[in-house]
Amino acid sequence: MSVHKEAKKVTTHVLLEMKQNNEKISMLTGYDYSMARIIDAAGVDVILVGDSASNVMAGHETTLPITLDQMIYHAASVIRAIDRALVVVDLPFGSYQGNSKEALTSAIRIMKEAGGHAVKLEGGREVIESVDRILSAGIPVMGHLGLTPQSIYKFGTYTVRAKEEEEAQRLIEDAIMLQDAGCFALVLEKVPATLGKKVAEELTIPVIGIGAGNGVDGQVLVVHDMLGINNEFNPRFLRKYHNLHDEMLDAFQNYIKDVRTGDFPNENEQY
Ligand code: KIV
């Protein structure tokens, strides 16, 4: 029996059962009501209100500038749209690194003001105290290891992480620590496929990859990237399911032409 098909609403327990049943988990980002309604209707398991909103919605170069208030605005819009998916909300940069009390306060705001189902935060051992504290309030936590974009100024580049044995070993230790602390799942970003598979085999919680190969328990993509809205972002891990950039450009150009020529509105399009 398929866990995915049976589940009327996706919970953290459903995701765990999916892993146990060898069913792959699908996750996409979502930031607004209209898009989230379509993603949910398509049957995705998890919608991530990612801090990638900072890039794709607000046009910032990194994920660092987005604020907790802005994340709550995006998350509330997504929550209003969904019937089935589990909605995980990123804790933005600066809202949890200070201390665990601050992390808990931020997570509570996401649950109370946006109605989120869970939060995600980046990092391993350095955030364990915060993970503990958030979990102690009954808020589910998803971890995020590998390339962690909130630390981009420490890494210096967006290249593949943990290619060297020492970093890979540390990543595995961090993944186990997050699981032992009580995280319900883990995002693994831009690491070698062999490492992704190893982490997924080592953990009992689902490991959801982005650029982490096919050996993990599920996949996540940024919705603007997979729809091809942004035609300047073409990493190897990205599969584009559409070329919306060109289709939208074409639609906008046609509209402008129709307005200019007086073709729009026609007789049927007026009162
Ligand atoms: O913010 C985001 O979109 C993410 C995904 C890339 C996993 O964290």
239 with 226: CB under 8 angstroms?
yes
Ligand 1 geometric centre to CA of 260 (Å) = 41
Q: Mutation test of ligand 1: which of 63, 147, 161, 222 has the most ligand atoms closer than 8 Å to its C-beta?
A: 222
> What percentage of the chain carries pLDDT values higher than 70?
100
Write the residue with the smallest CA distance to atom 1 of ligand 1: 50
Map out the domains of the chain as residue ranges.
Answer: 3-240, 243-271
pLDDT tens for each residue of 130-164: 999 999 999 999 999 999 999 999 999 999 999 99
pLDDT for the residue numbered 2: 86
- C-alpha 257/C-alpha 264 separation (Å) is 9
**Structure tokens given for 44:** 């995705």
**Structure tokens given for 24:** 């792959």
> Is the CATH number of domain 3-240 3.30.497.10?
no
pLDDT for the residue numbered 63: 98
pLDDT for the residue numbered 231: 86
pLDDT for the residue numbered 98: 87
Ligand 1 geometric centre to CA of 17 (Å) = 23
- C-alpha 266/C-alpha 193 separation (Å) is 55
**Catalytic residue list contains 126:** no
pLDDT tens for each residue of 162-188: 999 999 999 999 999 999 999 999 999
pLDDT tens for each residue of 33-66: 999 999 999 999 999 999 999 999 999 999 999 9
Phi/psi-derived region of residue 154, left when phi > 0, alpha when psi is between -120 and 50, beta in every other case: alpha
- C-alpha 101/C-alpha 114 separation (Å) is 19
* Whether residue 5 has pLDDT greater than 90: no
Cis bond before residue 265 (omega within 30° of 0): yes
Ligand 1 geometric centre to CA of 50 (Å) = 5
CB atoms within 10 A of CB 189: 22
Q: Which of 212, 219, 181, 218 is nearest to 196 (CA)?
A: 212
Ligand 1 site residues (CB inside 6 A) read 29, 48, 50-52, 90, 187, 189, 210, 220, 222
Q: Report the range of poorest mean pLDDT among 95-99, 182-186, 248-252.
A: 95-99
Q: Mutation test of ligand 1: which of 31, 51, 52 has the most ligand atoms closer than 8 Å to its C-beta?
A: 52
pLDDT for the residue numbered 266: 98
* 8-12: long-range contacts, CB 8 A cutoff, minimum separation 24: 8/84, 9/83, 9/84, 9/86, 10/45, 10/46, 10/84, 10/85, 10/86, 11/86, 11/117, 12/86, 12/118, 12/140, 12/184, 12/185
pLDDT tens for each residue of 200-227: 999 999 999 999 999 999 999 999 999 9
Q: What is the DSSP letter of 28?
A: E
* Whether residue 4 has pLDDT greater than 80: no
Average pLDDT score, the chain: 97
